[in-house]
Amino acid sequence: MKKSFKKRIALLFLPLITMGAFTLTNDSGQITGSVFLTKGESFPVIVEYFDIQVSDPIDGVRTVDVSIPIKRITTENWMRDAHMRLSIFDNKYKTITFTAKTGYELKEGSVLLDGILTINGIEKSHHLDLFLLKDKQGLSVKGTTEVSLENYGIKAPGMGPMKVKDKVKIELEIHIPQNKIWS
């Protein structure tokens, strides 16, 4: 009888335990991108720091807020980085943000986040396809997306015939530790 009672209590509280809010940073994974030039070459774009806030659910819906400081984005070339920060991004806006609401649970499977991506103060709807995979340490979250520079008022940078293509491919791989899921 004691085991049955404990199982009922566990079943009652387990969904509540898995619902906690949590924060993820660059210690939890990486966000990288690839910029392609019209001549076929490419170079990396690396997010050195990011902050992801996942809220407690309210009526089964969580809010996901992602913040990326522009000064913490690098292309691994100081001249490109300086050009990017001075010419491409509007200095009034210090961060790139993505905000979405989701009713998905933190479990294995595909997740589509429909949210708002804000770059240079311009807000646009953006879809992020993610795949969550459970492992011994928690959940691995992987996804790819493309961002159009033109949609955010960014003219394709470049010199002479070397121009950046409009679409930037972004890949993310984040790990949600078990203690965050069960907090």
pLDDT tens across 81-137, in order? Answer: 888 877 778 788 999 999 999 998 878 899 999 999 999 999 999 999 999 999 888
Residue 2 placed within a domain: no
Structural domain includes residue 9: no
CATH number of the CATH domain containing 80: 2.40.128.110
Is residue 102 in a domain? yes
Q: What is the pLDDT of residue 1?
A: 47
Q: Rounded mean pLDDT of the chain?
A: 83
Please give the share of the chain, as a percent, with pLDDT higher than 90.
45
Name, of 2-11, 34-43, 113-122, 156-165, the range with top average pLDDT: 113-122
Look up the pTM and report it.
0.82
Q: Say if 107 falls within a structural domain.
A: yes
In this predicted model, what pLDDT tens digit does every residue of 10-19 receive, in sequence order? 333 333 334 4
Summarize pLDDT for 54-74 with one digit per residue, the tens: 998 889 899 999 999 999 999
Answer whether residue 4 is part of any domain. no
Number of domains in the chain: 1
14, 2, 147: which is closest to 68 by C-alpha?
147
pLDDT given for residue 160 in this prediction: 64
Q: Position of tokens 């720091």?
A: 49
Integer CA distances (angstroms), 179 to 104, 171, 183, in order? 19, 25, 6
Question: Is the residue at 122 inside a domain?
Answer: yes
Domain that includes residue 142, residue range: 18-181
Angle, vertex CA 94, rays to CA 22 and CA 71, nearest 5: 85
pLDDT attached to residue 182:
52
Residues forming beta bridges with residue 54, ordered by sequence position? 22, 64
For position 181, what pLDDT does the model report? 67
pLDDT attached to residue 147: 94
User: What's the one-letter identity of residue 113?
Assistant: L
Count the neighbouring beta carbons within 10 Å of the beta carbon of residue 126.
20
40 inside domain: yes
What Cα–Cα distance (Å) separates residue 113 from each residue in 90, 91, 102, 136? 26, 28, 7, 25
Closest by Cα among 9, 10, 8, 16 to 181: 16
In a domain? residue 116: yes
